[in-house]
Amino acid sequence: MFWRSWALWLLGYPEAALSDAEYSLKDAREIGQAGTLMFALANTSVTQIFCGNYATADTQSEELVALADKKATLLWHAIEKMNKGSILALTGKASAAVQTIIAGITEWRQTGGTLLLPWYLSNLAMAYGELGQFDDAWRSIGEAMTAVKTTKETWCEADILRIAGEIAQMAPEPDPVKSQTYFEQALAVAREQGAKSLELRAAMSMARLWRAQGKRDEARDLLAPVYGWFTEGFDTLDLKEAKTLLEELT
């Protein structure tokens, strides 16, 4: 059940994903078993992060670390750190994000865990990019892509490619050709997988690039049909940002 909320979000149903995550967490609380609750908190926190509900994700992360400390379990403590670091990366706290994600990944590898490693590494890369540490950013992107191949977690491949394109734009000498190539790859992968939420993110990144190049019509024509596919979740972060971008392009 916990994985279902991730799948719902990927397929383009963020509202359903959040409802499913909330039900799963409620069910875990009613069961009253610490291991089940830690599992639920870790996974529903990820769903909240996907949907841009960072405050809720942070609250759940804090509850998880308290339980993990109480039960002295390294596995859930590592996941909490990686989730916390991802929240920091996505809310503009890059320096703290780098330290926290690295600490979490180090602990996670000690447990032999690999789940979500490509996604955590891509968030680390983004944080490095925000800090202007581009060698580290590209190294982390490379590690994320290698992890996709070794763990077979291809679900986040499109977002890793999109983040690579964003990092190419952050550089002191931005490379729009490199960015567009990555965004095109991200769109192709997302479409092949039917990952509508990741397709929307990639389309927004490409639309912003084209807008900066004066290609407003092309940007709108790319983004509008992707946004128009969605039937729910319009209060979630990605869809609100897509709507704002489309209004700016009109």
b/e map of 195-229 (b: 16 or more CB within 10 Å)?
bbbbbbbbbbbbbbbbbeeebeeebbebbbebbee
Query: How many Å apart are CA 241 and CA 9, to the nearest integer?
Result: 16
Please tell me the predicted confidence (pLDDT) of residue 73: 86
List the one residue out of 242, 161, 196 whose CA is nearest residue 17. 196
- 105 and 141 in contact (C-beta within 8 Å)? no
Please report the pLDDT score of residue 3 as a whole number: 72
* C-alpha span between 22 and 42 (Å, rounded): 12
Q: Residue 72: its pLDDT value, please?
A: 81
End-to-end CA distance of the chain: 41
* Angle ∠(204,49,225) on CA atoms, nearest 5: 25
Give CA–CA dist 175/187, Å, rounded.
18
**If you compute the radius of gyration of the chain from its CA atoms, what whole number of angstroms results?**
18
For domain 154-250, give its CATH number from 3.30.70, 1.25.40, 1.10.3470, 3.10.590.
1.25.40
What is the 3 state secondary structure string of 130-147? HCCCHHHHHHHHHHHHHH
pLDDT in tens, 81-138: 999 999 999 999 999 999 999 999 999 999 998 989 999 999 999 999 999 999 999 9
Return the C-alpha torsion angle 165, 168, 169, 171, nearest 10: 160
pLDDT along the chain (250 residues), means of 10: 83 97 94 92 95 97 92 89 97 98 95 93 98 98 96 95 97 95 98 98 98 97 98 98 97
The answer to whether the CB of 57 falls within 8 A of the CB of 41 is no
Distance CA 197, CA 159 (A): 10
Helices (H), the chain: 2-10, 14-31, 34-50, 54-71, 74-90, 94-111, 117-130, 134-151, 157-170, 176-193, 196-212, 216-229, 237-249
